[in-house]
Structure 1
Amino acid sequence: MDLEGTDGRERGEDDTSFEKQSALFALAVSDIVMINLWCHDIGREHAANRPLLKTIFEVLMRLFSPRRTTLLLVIRDKTKTPLDYLTQALKEDTQKIWDAVRKPEVYKEAALSEFFNVEVTALSSYEEKEELFKEQVGQLKQRFTHSIAPGGLAADRRCVIPASGFCLSALQIWKVIRENKDLDLPAHKVMIATVRCEDIADEKLRSFMSDKGWLELETTVNSGLVSGFGNKLDAIIDFYLFEYDTEAMYFDEDVKTAKRQMLKSEILKHAYPAFKTMIEHLHNVVLNKYKSDLEQSLRSGGVFAASARHCSQSSMEEFDVGLRDSFVKHAEWDATKVRIKLEHHVEAHAASVRGTKLAKLKANYEKKLLDALAGPVQSILETGEGDSWASIRRLYRHETENAISAFSASLSEFELDQITLHKMVMEIREHGRSIVEVKAREEAGSVLMYMKERFSTVLSHDKDSMPRTWTGNEDIHAITREARLAALRLLSVMAAIRLDDKPDRIDQALTTALLDGGPLSQKRSIEFTSDLLASCTWEEVAPKDTLIIPVKCRSIWKRLNAETEYAVAQAISMQETNRRNHNWLPPAWTIVLLAILGFNEFMFLVRNPLYIWGLFITFVVSYAIWLQYDIMTYFRRLSGLVTVLSGCLTTIMEIMTAIINMSHKQQQSSYPPLHAQSFMNQAQVQHHPDRSSWVDSNSDDRS
């Protein structure tokens, strides 16, 4: 191959690029590369091809596998300088070029001899020594003819490509070389245009960044929304792009266009933060307006789902209008992410408001359910009747269904999906159940107190709820059993939760084990042959529904019996006391003995009626004193006897005074008799008016 030289005119301004490409191609495909040097250019930089060799050495090691190529340096127009001196100078220059080349890490320590075999030859001047020149050319030709012989110019024959594949190999090598940008050098006018257009672009960029209008726009954007932001920014950008076009109009079109695009990109890069801030302000303003509109709509009585949907659509339309106003025609900025972010924030706020309202609505119905269930359940449990849990179940179902019906109607405005709706309804139902369970557990914790109250109520009150008076005719054993049965029934009611309407035998087990005599009682049925209370679970009752375990029931029952034993003993004592108080007659044998021993005295009284009359008067006076002073009450206290004696003494003195007054009345017979009313008036001024009146009345009767 004959390749053009460094000063060839065939490629015009792009000659330098093609020169490097062709030189590299020659090194890659050839075994021998002959470089033509003018003797007077040896030692020079560009004339001796030093930059060219440096470039192709770097690219060769990076693109292709190492193979030894012969570099034949042919010196033309040789002077009188000895060839050995010229050979040494050329090899030293080649070695320096190799040492200065940036090598890949793999070949960093590689020597020049691993890649190239440097040979130097010289040719005399054709014009001055034509015959010698032709002779030297003939000798060089012979070296090429025998180049593949041992010791020939072809240095390395290990990577020889067959002739059939040479064309394809050469095409691939040329393609690799053409695609490598390290070999491209622009033309002179392109380099000038590049430098000058870059300077103009940098100047316009600095002018833009210090532009008063841009700085004012940037400051205003940082403070809030700017109306017409896109048009204002477009006007500023158009101004500086126009100035750039005016100053760069005479330079290379491709370079000018590329640098113009670079200038616009840099301006937009500096303006993008302001645009981003503008969009964020727009996002915040629209979101705040959405929140305000939604709150106002709900406050005015709007349905939540419809209000949220309408406000959301209005807000997104407002955002789109603001986005178009902020659009910059020179930029292709995408605000889709901000719009999606706004949609998410709108949905999140709607979900938050919906959640708050749903929570408030749910709490309201839960409170209503609590008010409807807690008090009645407590009251029913305290009654301790056999159908207590049946009543609680009816109450629970009725109140829960009413609450669920009203709650479901209230949820219709939120347009919830069926799964969420069903979940919230189930939560209300479970809340009602939990209210009953919690209240039952609270009441079960005070079961002993309720049992004592129930026992005391049944023991001390009759069936009409009137206080019971122990007159001596009551069957205390039966009443006590009835009271214990009522307390045991209350314990049975509070032993377990029975909201599932499943049958159980807790009441029967407690009655058989505790009230009928305990585990060894012969009254037990066949079903309860074992001690059912010696366990921690109830049959047919789930552990989660157990309030009081069987073992604890036995302990509670023992405490009840111990704490109510005194009340039963007190009732028995009161009954015995009342029985003794109401029995005034002595024993029958005493009456018979008195009748036998007092027969003579009885006959004496029959023969003397005056004594009978005196005894009668004494009985009447004594009975009156007994009733008036409530002698029975006094005798219940230690000072009763002293009080009775003092009262009797006073009464005797009054009787004596009345007798003396009567004797004075008989002596003054000349005076008209005193009227009974005046005597009563006189008696009222006495110290004991009631007693005096009674004594005076008796005195009048005697007179």
Structure 2
Amino acid sequence: MDLEGSNSSERGEDDNTFEKRIALFALAVSDILLINMWYHDIGREHAASKPLLKTIFQVMMRLFSDPPKKTTLMFVVRDKPSKAPFVLLEKRLREDTEKMWNAVSKPQAHKNSPLTVFFNVQVVALSNYQEKEEKFKEEVAQLRQRFVNSISPGGLVGDKRSVVPASGFSLSAQEMWRVIKLNKDLDLPAHKVMVATLRCEEISTDIFKQLMENRGWLALQKAAETGPVPDFGRRVSSILYNYLSEYDKEVVYYDEGVRKMKRHMLESRALQCAQAVYNTMLGHLSSNAFERFKAGVTSLDPEKGFAASLRACILSSMHEFRQGCADAAVQHSNWSFSSIVEKLQRDVNAHALCVRSAKLSELKDKYEEQLVAWWRRHVGFNKKNSYA
């Protein structure tokens, strides 16, 4: 049974009663419900109709819990990257589904019932059709075979507690539809929220693509490969601000909660890309600071004392590095550079220790020579009593 879907544009914004009803009907009447979702939507709150599923869980228990009707929920994940471990993907989806189940209110009779009483969760991952067509077809063939053998023991619906005969299916479906129509408080997400989710995601994806192709951004990336970029933080912040402002203009008339959520996701995604360049910058800043420190200790001021001059050189190098990191930070990023500061501090301290040891050794040799010379002048050399 193929339905119009939860994002259908065929119906007006205010005409969502039928959409609400068929969403629940699909789950109530079916043995298996396939939930198509993209790989990059995993973990997103409004992706893959999560709000819809939460409410369906709740209404399903209230309307069809005596006895419980067990349905297979099959998440079909599209465009799974080849390097993404399926075990982790499946684990994440199962955990998300469990969280949704635990979050919904339940009737007293099923207050402590686990998800498995009502649902059998399955996860299938499909490769990208455009990139790996043969692999995709092979995986689809395997999935098709699971449906062929779905009523076998251990199959997708092989553990059902009761089965409606074919002759009674029509009456059963009519009764389910009657019950759904009589239920007046189907609190399923409004159609405008679904539309907002779809459109804001499309706009966010397009804005991000434009950002990644921006000439100014590409120039900063290239420049950062060879060394620190002056005013990096301010320049990147300005580019991000312009594109986020463009997103705000595009989504201004959509649901506020959805557009804010998608904006946050867009900003986080952009900052993640900028952070990779920022980390490269930190590497250059750290290397430069260490080289300047090594050059500085070779020309310490003897009048200020060796220890004091060395300490001042250390403090100056670390302060300069911290200042460079702060200047390179992007607005609202909250990135931490403590680990690389700690590493630079260890490297500087280790080099300072070597310099200090070399200086002490030099002083030791110098004063030993002076002592030997003094001894020869004032005591003389006695073959029977050698001296150190």
Report TM bin, short chain.
0.5 to 0.7
Output the amino acid matched with 1:228: D
Q: Deviations over 1:176-211 (max 9, x none)?
A: xxxxxxxx9854333322222222112111211111
Q: CA deviation at 1:368?
A: 5.5
- Structure 1: gaps spanning 5 or more residues: 1-6, 34-51, 67-95, 126-183, 382-391, 397-431, 433-703
1:525-583 per-residue CA deviation (whole Å, 9 max, x = no partner) reads: xxxxxxxxxxxxxxxxxxxxxxxxxxxxxxxxxxxxxxxxxxxxxxxxxxxxxxxxxxx
Provide Cα deviations, 1:130-167, integer angstroms capped at 9, x if missing partner.
Answer: xxxxxxxxxxxxxxxxxxxxxxxxxxxxxxxxxxxxxx
TM-superposition CA deviations, 1:265-302 (whole Å, max 9, x none): 2211221122112222222233233333332224x544
Q: How far apart, in 1, do the equivalents of 2:319 and 2:240 lie?
A: 28
Which of residues 174, 193, 198 in structure 2 aligns to 1:195? 198
Q: Which residue of 2 aligns with 1:353?
A: 355
Q: CA deviation at 1:370?
A: 6.8
Matched residue SS, 1:227: coil
Distance 1:348 1:321 in 2: 22
Residue 305 of structure 1 corresponds to 307
CA separation of 1:232/1:368 partners in 2, compared to 1, >3 Å: closer, same or farther?
A: same
Give the distance between the partners of 2:223 and 2:22, measured in 1 at CA. Answer: 51
2:217 matches 1:251: no
Aligned residue for 1:116? 162
Partner of 1:296: 299
Q: Give the 3 Å change call, closer, same or farther, for CA 98–333 of structure 1 in structure 2.
A: same
Report if the CA contact (8 A) 1:20-1:55 is conserved.
no
Which residue matches 1:282?
A: 285
- 2:316 matched to 1:314? yes
1:350 deviates by 1.2
**SS of corresponding position for 1:329:** coil
Percent identity between matched residues is 31
Q: Is the 8 A contact 1:193 1:256 kept in 2?
A: yes
C-alpha distance in 2 between matches for 1:257 and 1:20: 26
The 2-side partners of 1:211 and 1:221 are apart by 16
Residues 100-123 of structure 1, C-alpha deviation per residue, up to 9 Å, x if partnerless?
48x9xxx7259757622546887x
Indicate how the Cα distance of structure 1 residues 280 and 109 shifts in structure 2: closer, same or farther if over 3 A, else same: closer
* Alignment match, 1:543: none
Unpaired runs of at least 5, structure 2: 1-14, 25-51, 75-93, 102-112, 119-145, 172-186
Mapped pair 1:261 → 2:264: yes
Which residue in 2 is equivalent to 1:225? 228
Output the CA distance in 2 between the equivalents of 1:330 and 1:14: 43
The CA deviation at 1:353 is: 0.7
Match for 1:188: what amino acid? H
Amino acid across the alignment from 2:353: A
* Map of 2:183 onto structure 1: none
Structure 2 residue 66 is matched with structure 1 residue 30: yes
Compared CA separation, residues 64 and 25, structure 1 to 2 (3 A): farther
Q: Is the 8 A contact 1:14 1:187 kept in 2?
A: no
Contact residue 308 and residue 350 of structure 1 kept, 8 A: yes
2:306 partner amino acid = F
Alignment correspondent of 2:115: 63
Compute the TM-score of the two structures, normalised by the length of structure 2: 0.56
Contact 1:290 1:315 survives alignment (8 Å): yes
User: Could you tell me which amino acid in structure 2 is paired with residue 30 of structure 1?
Assistant: D
Distance 2:237 2:207 in 1: 15
Structure number with larger C-alpha Rg:
1
> Residue 244 of structure 1: CA displacement?
0.8
Structure 1 residue 21 corresponds to structure 2 residue 24: no
Aligned 8 A contact 2:150 2:157 in 1: no
Counterpart mapping for 1:443-592 below 5 A = none
Structure 2 residue aligned with 1:73 = none
Call closer, same or farther: CA 1:185–1:344 in 2, change over 3 Å.
Answer: farther
Name the structure 2 match of 1:622: none
Match of 2:327 among 325, 328, 334: 325
The residue number in structure 2 matching 1:84 is none
Cα deviation for residue 254 of structure 1 reads 2.1
**Is the 1:54–1:97 Cα contact (8 Å) retained in structure 2?**
no
Structure with higher RCO (Cα < 8 A, 6+ apart): 2
C-alpha contact (below 8 Å) 2:292/2:317 kept by paired residues: yes
Q: Find out whether 1:234 has 2:233 as its counterpart.
A: no
Question: What is the one-letter code of the residue matched to 1:200?
Answer: I
Contact 2:72 2:157 survives alignment (8 Å): no
Give the drift of 1:239: 0.5
User: Please, what TM-score do these two structures have when normalized by structure 1?
Assistant: 0.33
Which 4+ residue blocks in structure 1 deviate beyond 4 angstroms? 7-15, 24-27, 52-56, 58-62, 96-101, 109-114, 119-122, 184-187, 365-374, 376-379
SS in 1 for 2:300: helix
What is the CA–CA distance in structure 2 between the aligned matches of 1:303 and 1:204, rounded to whole Å? Answer: 59
Local SS of the residue matching 1:360: helix
Shift of residue 365, structure 1, vs aligned partner: 4.2
CA distance in 1, matches of 2:237, 2:190: 35
Task: Supply the AA of the counterpart residue of 1:331.
Answer: S
Tell me the SS of whatever aligns to 2:228.
coil
* CA shift digits 1:304-338 (9 cap, x unpaired): 11001212222233223322321211311111112
- Contact 2:16–2:190 under 8 Å retained in 1: no
Give the alignment of 1:49-448 within 5 angstroms: 54-55=72-73, 63-64=115-116, 100=150, 108=154, 112=158, 115-116=161-162, 118=164, 187-298=190-301, 300-366=302-368, 379-381=382-384, 392=385, 396=387, 432=388
Once residues 229 and 110 of structure 1 are traced to their aligned partners in structure 2, the CA distance between those partners, rounded to angstroms, is 55
Count of matched residue pairs: 267
How much has 1:366 moved relative to structure 2? 4.8
Distance 1:113 1:205 in 2: 46
Q: Partners in 1 of 2:257 and 2:271 — Cα distance?
A: 21
Determine helix, strand or coil for the equivalent of 2:298. helix
Aligned-residue offset at 1:346 = 2.0
Instruction: Name the structure where helix makes up a greater proportion of residues.
Output: 1
**RMSD of the TM alignment (CA)?**
4.5
Would you say the 8 A contact 1:13–1:187 is kept in 2? no
> CA 1:297–1:250 in 2, change beyond 3 Å: closer, same or farther?
same
Within 2, Cα distance between the matches of 1:225 and 1:188? 49
Mean Cα deviation higher: 324-333 or 18-27? 18-27
* Aligned counterpart, 1:672: none
